């Protein structure tokens, strides 16, 4: 026996007993699911997997995860109407979602460094791990470790309690560790595409780093004898020792970037020539671009080179970024411009539609009351900073850094990047503020066994309740209460983790959001529900 | 003395406490069972014993049964009934049903809290005397607003009467007569001299139980030849407690609003002693009574209900009694009486026996097919002048308490015999003794039963109106040895009490209906799922089943045949959502009442995964009639798509509230204006709310809408289970929408996103509108969200929750617009209104004396002023002002 149904105009046959969701997956249609986990069976609680169905002369909206496929069903999945309903479901969940996707420091960082995760590593004396995290996230990390204007520290929640974390100093110590090791950030498989980057300043080097990581072969062309641009000219030696710039350039060379030094655009090569020699060209020659524009055959505006919103000049494969387009006082900003432009170039090279990376989805709690900060303070070192910064890098040794890192509130979400709610909200463009009302108070139950339970992030899918039941946990979990105030917890007012003596790890794994997580950090497993 | 001593002392204390708890728990478990599905009855029994659920008791249950801590805790926190902390000596239930809401339940609760000294945010007074609990609906809508002190219900309340109510209750409590009239059951051997007392919950709430007891005592004491008989609901709730005095060879007389103190007199006046000696004593007593109390004669007379009154005629005239057949006539629990009225004949027919039944006589259908109204046997329908007796008590005399009769005029009883012969006595079928005109009926096979129900066009009376016959057919077609039938008596809609009345008044008929359904689909086990707010209904169905089992009518040999059928009662625990069939099934199975996705429908996979038929109480109540009188007779009543009759609970702003049964297709106007007598004097009929939280508001201008499934759906409402709340110009439609959404929001099981969060967000938006804080975007968002919640919710609760909002937006948009501008045109939304005192004030100080929060300083002979910072808008000043000098803006 089998069932033949139609989804979005395509016929598909599934075995008897399989669901509409199974059928859709067979057609590689990515129907979002939050509460569905194979081993638990359909919970039909999140209603994000809804589809519109015509069957037996009736039209209805049903959760695809629980609806058994029956021959003759005509299903709509990828239509505006259905997408809008799914988006509404997500927005309703988000309206009662008490938690930030990102800690403020992480959200604010122009280079999107996962600062709380880095601090956890430093705190646990896992400096090499912290170094890898930093080096995998951002280019020129030892430069930013010294010159960054530290927006992260201004946003730090610890600062509302006593003093902000010394984030930059810790990042610096982690980043510098790379030079003593032979660590090279991993790159994806070579694309066979070649990119010329004109200008070896922060923007150009950042772009080269990013494009190399993306698998392209990069050549940096700079008129000086040594790459580094403004980094070599502006800051005093004490603020940024030149050996650090050298080391960063060395690291790029190790990654496979080639440098064509003492070569000036216009004199040694024309834009046109580069554009035909390479698959793409990125002009990052700084503020001088504005005056040079006519000789380069480019158009300039008052601020700099004229580019499209995607960073392209009048020539399709010639991009421009950084101070060449718009003056940037800040080195971190310049680096961020470089990586952003590199992403556009990458999309161009891969023949994808070019989208300048927009602000990514993020659930934001908004103002956090002092009582709520207290919840975080609970599990941190309560003392103010133990040492004061010295020299160009704040800490003399990693012991100091570890002590400082232990002050972090870890107000981030451990599931960030591994959260189905975040993933599908991003995908469907959900607006977390659509139904925003007075939010509930933030809650965090920090259990000795490393289990962190944050009820405000629970979407009441029931997966953990079911997992606990299936594995015959002695106490187990249950839904408590009814209606809008339903919560998941251990019975008889016992602590949450009392209900999960055997299967905590499985529940952390199964949780579609960050309601159950491990205090020690983010899980590394891929999204259980996702197909990428 | 060491630390050990204290540790040991502590252990001893714990052991003692445990013994105190474990003993009763073990007994309960032994009595109820150890399976997982026993959890709800066990918790109910524990709460009955301790009045709350002490945690050690729950642990003990888990230790001694198959129930797990996770299960018991999930259940104990899901259902409203269960309490997790100790309560005061007495529990006061504050009804927040629709009728109570529109008649000021919020103000009553506020005043009650003040009266009992219950702090804000708490539920118990510091002395631990009283705990108050909100309930969604007590089903006594015609008495709104209603409070229930332990088992005693008080109706028609307002803030000023509360002290008297509390005093009366304390009086009652000190006498400790937790006495149910049902225990007085005895076989009624009907003879001529009978006093019939309506003992439905509403009637009891109005004091009919005390009257019943007093009448029985009086009959016994005087030794007069009269039997005092309990009957079910009389329907005319606006008149309760109502009694009928039937005398051999004489016209029946009806009395309303009688006090227990008058019982003796009534008995003495109407009945003669059976032997000469007693007659002489009786005469002497009568004389003495008259001598001692000169107004004795009058005081009884003025309660006489003139049965030839046009108002009574109008109330009963349009009605057809099928589900409520024999209303006000039979003792609910008298099996012999039920049998004498063709009881269980329909069932016998279904069991393959030929039967003879009384013919459906006149009045059901006229030649042109139109329904012809009938009046019940005891109500002569002669025309007469409307008498002052029939005015509804205006101030609603906080019943049971005041004994005031200032609201009734004086009138002599009708001269005996007058009007005799003009009346339609005996018109009703089946009243005549069974030996009269009979009609033979052939036996039916299960498929023939289903055909007949299908042909009759019976549709589910629970709400959606799914055709009953086809539903049975699906269950009957299932190839499964085990099937179940369930009577859905979880009537949770605020403002509806039809099912309660039917269960209380006609338990045998409902049982017969369910038995017929069981035979039709091939089930051998059935359940009555009845909400716990209806204790009398539970009691009567349980007693009726026991009686049937005792007589061998039910059980291994159903009515003596080889068909085995077992029925039991399952009590709900306070969750509206359990009226949804999949949630109901979960509740019976001992789980949280969370609906699941359908399909599979219960017809295929229901209770314990077996094919299960679930029918509503009223649907079942119709069946015996249908099977006795035929599909054609039933189908001849009603409209093209909606056959038969519908029972409505008529309440709200209406002169004659009560329980009515009208043919489908009767218009709203007929119900409101003709049957209900319209809204009160000086008020304007604005809308009816029909179908409760799943239904909608139909404006006065659509009053010609006939009540049938399709017409109601067309205008945006639904039949629902039959609550019909009349609203007048004092009711704010935005507030009504907000009220219902608050209800559904509180009753959502919390499973699916659209219902759990969606209804909450809709409520947030409505709260913004009602408090004048909303902007146009909020209104637009409300309109945008409503269809998403309807479409996306998993079960009927969520799918229909937006209906009250959608219909009010459709018909009363102007009121929403006014709220956006900060005005509540009906003067209802507290945040948008202000009480003030006008120039009409004479400085009489009455308002100042009554103000419960001292917001009006006493200024004799000068115009009073309300301190707006203190005013709680309780409405007291407006009610007490003799000069109409208080205005609301």
pLDDT tens by residue, A407-430:
999 999 999 888 999 999 999 999
Above 60 in pLDDT, residue A165?
yes
How much is the pLDDT for A26?
Answer: 96
Contact flag B73-A42 (C-beta cutoff 8 Å)? no
pLDDT in tens, A193-205: 999 999 999 999 9
Above 70 in pLDDT, residue B400?
no
Find which of A473, A478, A493, A495 to mutate to test the B interface (most B CBs within 10 Å of its CB): A478
Query: What tokens appear for B16 in the block?
Result: 């003692």
A vs B: CB pairs below 8 A: 122
Tracing tokens 């080639």 back to the chain, one arrives at: A258
Cβ neighbours, 10 Å, residue B359: 15
Contact flag B74-A85 (C-beta cutoff 8 Å)? no
Contact flag B752-A44 (C-beta cutoff 8 Å)? yes
How much is the pLDDT for A358?
Answer: 66
Of A434, A468, A483, the CB nearest to B747: A483
Q: What residues contact A294, with CB distance under 8 A and at least 6 apart?
A: A300
Of B55, B747, B753, the CB nearest to A47: B753
Closest among B458, B463, B459 to B721, alpha carbons compared: B463
Least confident of A381-385, B684-688, B791-795: A381-385
Chain A residue numbers touching B751 (CB-CB < 8 A): 44-45, 460
How much is the pLDDT for B197?
Answer: 87
Spatial strand order of the sheet with B685-690 comes to B658-663, B645-652, B723-728, B685-690, B696-699
How much is the pLDDT for A523?
Answer: 45
Radius of gyration of chain A (CA): 26
pLDDT grade for A329, boundaries at 50, 70 and 90? confident
Contact flag A42-B597 (C-beta cutoff 8 Å)? yes
CA distance A39 to chain B (A): 18
Q: Determine the Cα–Cα distance for residues B427 and B316; give it in Å rounded to an integer.
A: 14
Q: Determine the Cα–Cα distance for residues B677 and B236; give it in Å rounded to an integer.
A: 12
Q: What share of chain A is helix, strand, coil (3-state, %, to 5)?
A: 40, 15, 50
Least confident of A448-452, A462-466, B504-508, B765-769: A448-452
Least confident of A506-510, B8-12, B266-270, B496-500: B8-12
pLDDT in tens, B115-133: 999 998 899 999 999 999 9
Q: Determine the Cα–Cα distance for residues B294 and B299; give it in Å rounded to an integer.
A: 10
Above 50 in pLDDT, residue B424?
no
In chain B, the residue whose alpha carbon lies closest to the alpha carbon of A62 is B792
Of A46, A483, A485, the CB nearest to B753: A46
Q: Determine the Cα–Cα distance for residues B234 and B501; give it in Å rounded to an integer.
A: 9
Closest among B303, B192, B190 to B243, alpha carbons compared: B303
Mean of the per-residue pLDDT values of chain A: 90
Find which of B68, B70, B76 to mutate to test the A interface (most A CBs within 10 Å of its CB): B70
pLDDT in tens, B376-398: 433 333 333 323 333 333 333 33
How much is the pLDDT for B275?
Answer: 64
Q: Determine the Cα–Cα distance for residues A181 and A169; give it in Å rounded to an integer.
A: 19
Q: Give, to the nearest 10 degrees, the angle between helix A115-123 and helix A167-180.
A: 70
First to last CA, chain B: 72
Of B59, B749, B791, the CB nearest to A483: B749
Above 80 in pLDDT, residue B293?
no
Closest among B762, B826, B889, B885 to B102, alpha carbons compared: B826
In chain B, the residue whose alpha carbon lies closest to the alpha carbon of A493 is B73
Above 90 in pLDDT, residue A490?
yes
Provide the 3-class DSSP secondary structure of residue A79.
coil
CA distance B465 to chain A (A): 17
Higher pLDDT, B285 or B82: B82
Q: Determine the Cα–Cα distance for residues B551 and B539; give it in Å rounded to an integer.
A: 18
Q: Determine the Cα–Cα distance for residues B15 and A528; give it in Å rounded to an integer.
A: 49
Above 80 in pLDDT, residue A479?
yes
Task: Report CA-CA distances (Å) from B552 to B66, B337, B506, B559.
Answer: 34, 17, 20, 7
How much is the pLDDT for B247?
Answer: 82
How much is the pLDDT for B76?
Answer: 97
Above 90 in pLDDT, residue B482?
yes
How much is the pLDDT for B412?
Answer: 30
CA distance A11 to chain B (A): 22
CA distance B590 to chain A (A): 14
Tracing tokens 């539920």 back to the chain, one arrives at: B123
pLDDT grade for B413, boundaries at 50, 70 and 90? very low
Of A88, A459, A479, the CB nearest to B592: A479
How much is the pLDDT for B687?
Answer: 96
Looking at residue B464, the DSSP 8-state letter turns out to be S
pLDDT grade for A437, boundaries at 50, 70 and 90? confident
Least confident of B325-334, B368-377, B446-455: B368-377
How much is the pLDDT for B387?
Answer: 31
Residue B627 sits at φ, ψ, to 5 deg, of: -80, -15
- Residue B740: its H or E element: helix B733-747
pLDDT grade for A262, boundaries at 50, 70 and 90? very high
Q: Determine the Cα–Cα distance for residues A371 and B862; give it in Å rounded to an integer.
A: 52
- What is the length of chain A? 532
Provide the 3-class DSSP secondary structure of residue A13.
strand
Q: Determine the Cα–Cα distance for residues B235 and B498; give it in Å rounded to an integer.
A: 10
Provide the 3-class DSSP secondary structure of residue B133.
strand
Least confident of A141-150, B153-162, B284-293, B751-760: B284-293
How much is the pLDDT for A65?
Answer: 96
Higher pLDDT, B804 or B13: B804
CA distance B394 to chain A (A): 40
pLDDT grade for A531, boundaries at 50, 70 and 90? very low
Mean of the per-residue pLDDT values of chain B: 84
pLDDT grade for B2, boundaries at 50, 70 and 90? low
């Amino acid at each position: 026996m089998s069932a033949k149904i139609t989804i979005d105009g395509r016929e598909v046959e599934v075995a008897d007993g399989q669901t509409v969701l199974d059928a859709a997956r067979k057609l590689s249609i990515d129907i979002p699911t939050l509460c569905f986990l194979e081993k638990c069976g359909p919970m039909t609680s999140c209603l994000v997997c809804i589809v519109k169905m015509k069957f037996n002369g009736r039209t209805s909206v049903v959760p695809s995860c629980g609806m058994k496929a029956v021959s003759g069903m005509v299903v709509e999945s990828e239509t505006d109407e259905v997408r809008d309903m799914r988006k509404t479901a997500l927005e309703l969940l988000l309206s009662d979602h008490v938690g930030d996707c990102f800690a403020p420091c992480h959200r604010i960082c122009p280079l999107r460094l996962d600062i709380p995760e880095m601090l956890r590593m430093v705190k646990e004396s896992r400096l090499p791990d912290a170094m890898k995290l930093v080096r995998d996230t951002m280019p020129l990390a030892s430069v930013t470790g010294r010159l960054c204007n530290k927006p992260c520290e201004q946003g730090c929640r610890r600062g509302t309690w006593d003093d902000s974390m010394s984030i930059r100093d810790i990042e610096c110590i982690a980043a510098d560790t790379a030079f003593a090791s032979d660590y090279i950030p991993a790159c994806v498989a070579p694309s066979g595409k070649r990119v010329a980057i004109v200008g070896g300043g922060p923007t150009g080097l950042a772009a080269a780093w990013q494009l190399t990581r993306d698998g392209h072969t990069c050549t940096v062309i700079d008129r000086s004898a040594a790459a580094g641009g403004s980094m070599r000219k502006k800051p005093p030696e004490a603020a940024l020792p030149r050996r650090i710039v050298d080391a960063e350039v060395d690291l790029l060379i190790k990654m496979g970037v080639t440098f064509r030094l003492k070569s000036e655009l216009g004199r040694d090569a024309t834009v046109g020539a580069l554009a035909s020699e390479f698959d793409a060209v990125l002009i990052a020659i700084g503020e001088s671009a504005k005056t040079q524009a006519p000789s380069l055959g480019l158009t300039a505006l008052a601020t700099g080179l004229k580019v499209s919103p995607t960073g392209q000049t009048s020539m399709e494969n010639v991009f421009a970024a950084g101070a060449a387009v718009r003056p940037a006082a800040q080195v971190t900003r310049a680096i961020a411009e470089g990586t952003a432009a590199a992403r556009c170039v990458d999309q161009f090279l891969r023949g994808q539609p070019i989208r300048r990376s927009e602000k990514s989805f993020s659930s934001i709690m908004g103002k956090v009351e002092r009582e709520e900060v207290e919840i975080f303070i609970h599990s941190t070192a309560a003392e103010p900073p133990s040492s004061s910064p010295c020299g160009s890098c704040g800490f003399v040794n990693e012991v100091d850094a570890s002590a400082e890192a232990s002050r972090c509130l870890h107000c981030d979400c451990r599931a960030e990047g591994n959260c189905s709610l975040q993933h599908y909200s991003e995908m469907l463009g959900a607006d977390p503020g659509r139904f925003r009302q007075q939010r509930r108070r933030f809650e965090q139950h920090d259990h000795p066994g490393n289990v962190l339970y944050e009820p405000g992030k629970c979407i009441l899918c029931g997966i953990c309740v079911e997992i606990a039941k299936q594995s015959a946990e002695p106490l187990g979990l249950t839904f408590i209460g009814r209606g809008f105030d339903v919560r998941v917890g251990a019975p008889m007012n016992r602590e949450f983790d009392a209900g999960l003596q055997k299967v905590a790890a499985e529940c952390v794994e199964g949780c579609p959001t960050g309601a159950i997580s491990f205090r020690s950090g983010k899980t590394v497993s891929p999204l259980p529900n996702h197909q990428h | 003395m060491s630390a050990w001593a204290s540790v040991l002392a502590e252990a001893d204390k714990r052991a003692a406490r445990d013994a105190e708890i474990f003993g009763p728990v073990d007994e309960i478990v032994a009595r109820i069972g150890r399976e997982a599905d026993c959890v709800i009855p066990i918790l109910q029994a524990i709460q009955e014993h301790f009045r709350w659920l002490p945690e050690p008791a729950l642990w003990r249950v888990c230790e001694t049964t198959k129930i797990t801590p996770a299960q018991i805790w999930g259940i104990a926190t899901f259902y409203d009934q269960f309490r997790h902390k100790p309560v005061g000596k007495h529990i006061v239930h504050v009804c927040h049903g629709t009728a109570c809401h529109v008649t000021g339940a919020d103000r009553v609760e506020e005043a009650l809290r003040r009266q009992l000294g219950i702090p804000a945010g708490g539920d118990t007074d510091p002395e631990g005397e009283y705990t108050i609990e909100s309930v969604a609906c007590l089903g006594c809508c015609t008495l709104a607003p209603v409070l229930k002190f332990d088992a005693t219900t008080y109706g028609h309340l307002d803030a000023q009467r509360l002290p008297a109510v509390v005093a009366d209750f304390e009086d009652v409590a000190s006498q400790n007569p937790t006495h149910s009239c049902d225990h007085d059951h005895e076989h009624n051997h009907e003879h001529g001299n009978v006093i019939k007392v309506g003992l439905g919950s509403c009637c009891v709430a109005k004091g009919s139980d005390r009257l019943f007891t007093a009448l029985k005592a009086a009959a016994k004491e005087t030794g007069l030849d009269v039997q005092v008989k309990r009957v079910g609901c009389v329907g005319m709730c606006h008149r309760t407690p109502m009694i009928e005095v039937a005398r051999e060879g004489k016209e029946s007389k009806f009395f309303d609003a009688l006090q227990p103190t008058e019982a003796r007199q009534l008995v003495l006046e109407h009945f003669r002693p059976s032997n000469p000696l007693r007659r002489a004593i009786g005469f002497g007593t009568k004389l003495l009574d008259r001598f001692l109390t000169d107004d004795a004669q009058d005081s009884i007379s003025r309660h006489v209900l003139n049965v030839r009154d046009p108002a009574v005629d109008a109330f009963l005239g349009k009605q057809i009694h099928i589900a409520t057949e024999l209303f006000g006539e039979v003792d609910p629990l008298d099996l012999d009486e039920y049998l004498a009225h063709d009881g269980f004949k329909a069932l016998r027919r279904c069991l393959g026996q030929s039967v003879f039944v009384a013919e459906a006589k006149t009045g059901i259908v006229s030649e042109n097919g139109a329904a012809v109204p009938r009046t019940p046997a005891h109500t002569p329908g002669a025309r007469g002048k409307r008498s002052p007796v029939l005015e509804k008590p205006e101030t609603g005399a906080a019943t049971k308490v005041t004994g005031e009769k200032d609201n009734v005029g004086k009138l002599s009883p009708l001269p005996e015999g007058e009007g005799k012969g003009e009346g339609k006595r005996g018109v009703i079928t089946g009243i005549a003794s069974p030996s009269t005109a009979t009609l033979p009926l052939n036996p039916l096979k299960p498929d023939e039963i289903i055909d007949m129900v299908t042909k009759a066009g019976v549709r589910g009376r629970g709400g959606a109106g799914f055709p009953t016959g086809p539903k049975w057919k699906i269950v009957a077609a299932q190839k499964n040895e085990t099937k179940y039938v369930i009577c859905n008596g979880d009537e949770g809609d605020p403002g509806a009490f039809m099912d309660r009345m039917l269960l209380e008044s006609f338990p045998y008929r409902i049982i017969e209906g369910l038995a017929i359904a069981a035979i039709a689909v091939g089930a051998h086990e059935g359940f009555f799922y009845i909400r716990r707010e209806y204790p009398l209904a539970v009691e009567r169905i349980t007693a009726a089943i026991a009686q049937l089992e005792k007589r061998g009518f039910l059980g291994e040999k159903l009515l003596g045949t080889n068909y085995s059928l077992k029925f039991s009662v399952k009590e709900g625990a306070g969750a509206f959502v359990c009226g949804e069939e999949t949630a109901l099934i979960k509740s019976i199975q001992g789980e949280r009442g969370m609906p699941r996705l359908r399909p599979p429908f219960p017809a295929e996979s229901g209770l314990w995964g077996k094919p299960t038929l679930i029918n509503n109480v009223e649907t079942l109540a119709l069946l015996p009639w249908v099977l006795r009188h035929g599909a054609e007779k039933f189908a001849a009543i009603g409209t093209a798509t909606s056959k038969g009759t519908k029972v409505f609970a008529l309440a709200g702003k209406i002169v004659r509230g009560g329980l009515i049964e009208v043919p489908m297709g009767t218009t709203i106007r007929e119900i409101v204006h003709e049957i209900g007598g319209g809204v009160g004097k000086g008020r304007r009929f604005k809308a009816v709310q029909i179908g409760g939280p799943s239904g909608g508001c139909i404006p006065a201008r659509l009053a010609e809408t006939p009540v049938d499934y399709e017409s109601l759906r067309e205008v945006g409402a639904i039949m629902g289970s039959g609550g019909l709340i009349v609203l007048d110009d004092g009711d704010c439609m935005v507030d009504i929408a907000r009220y219902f959404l608050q209800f559904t929001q509180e009753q959502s099981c919390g499973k699916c996103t659209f219902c759990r969060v969606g209804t909450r967000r809709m409520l947030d938006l409505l709260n913004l509108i009602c408090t004048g804080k909303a902007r146009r975007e909020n209104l637009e968002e409300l309109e945008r969200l409503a269809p998403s919640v309807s479409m996306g919710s998993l079960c009927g609760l969520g799918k229909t929750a937006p209906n009250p909002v959608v219909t009010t937006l459709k018909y009363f948009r102007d009121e929403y617009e006014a709220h956006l501008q900060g005005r509540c045109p009906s003067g209802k939304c507290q945040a948008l209104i202000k009480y003030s005192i006008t120039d009409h004030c004479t400085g009489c100080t009455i308002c100042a004396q009554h103000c419960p929060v001292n917001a009006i300083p006493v200024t004799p002979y000068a115009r009073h002023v309300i301190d707006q910072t203190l005013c709680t808008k309780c409405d007291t000043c407006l009610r007490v002002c003799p000069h109409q000098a208080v205005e609301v803006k």
